[in-house]
Amino acid sequence: MQSVTITGLVTVRDLKPSADGHTILAYFSADVGVFSFKGCLLVRTARRGIAAWLPRLDDKRAHGNRSVTLNDEPTRNALLQAARDTYRLMGGKHAEYEPRDDDAERLHPYRGSDEKGWPTHPLHPNYTAPENNDAEDRGGLKTFLEGSIG
């Protein structure tokens, strides 16, 4: 992961969603490793998530062959977290996750989890049965096996 530093941030006061449903919360500049980016966006997405977008390269002559991307997931997450933290320090209040109306529909039908987040429903595809280390159960298996041998 590269080091990330927000070097400037300007919040948007009049928040309005665009035609595609995205809302720009702030414009910011950042140093990521050896690169400096100006014109990044902190955005509430149409699906109510929060994203940090790098500057867009609009050059009709390039036919889509020019772009800037961060392929390192930890660095992208660090950029988003740094932008959100700076936005909050500047008084921004709109960079939190907001549940959507269809969130309940998207949940797995066998939902439910323990305190560590592991699925608890036996029909959930990621469910693993808890190990039972009771001495009583091991003794029952031993008795069963001894009875079948003798």
Instruction: Convert the pLDDT of each residue in 39-92 to its tens digit.
Output: 999 998 888 888 888 888 776 666 666 677 778 888 888 888 898 888 888 888
The model's confidence at residue 33, banded by pLDDT at 50, 70 and 90, is confident
pLDDT in tens, 12-25: 888 888 888 899 99
Say how many C-beta atoms besides its own lie within 10 A of residue 49's C-beta.
Answer: 11
pLDDT in the model for residue 27: 92
pLDDT at 108 over 70: no
pLDDT in the model for residue 2: 77
Residue 70 backbone class (left: φ over 0; alpha: ψ -120 to 50; beta: rest): beta
35 vs 137, residue with greater confidence: 35
Say how many C-beta atoms besides its own lie within 10 A of residue 48's C-beta.
Answer: 15
Rounded distance between C-alpha atoms, residue 55 and residue 136, angstroms: 64
In a domain, 94, yes or no: no
Owning domain of residue 147: 107-150
Query: Could you give phi then psi for residue 13, rounded to 5 degrees?
Result: -80, -40
Here the tokens at position 95 are 């960079």
In a domain, 134, yes or no: yes
Same-domain pairing of 116 and 83? no
Same-domain pairing of 82 and 12? yes
Q: Give the total number of structural domains in the chain.
A: 2
The pTM for the full model equals 0.58
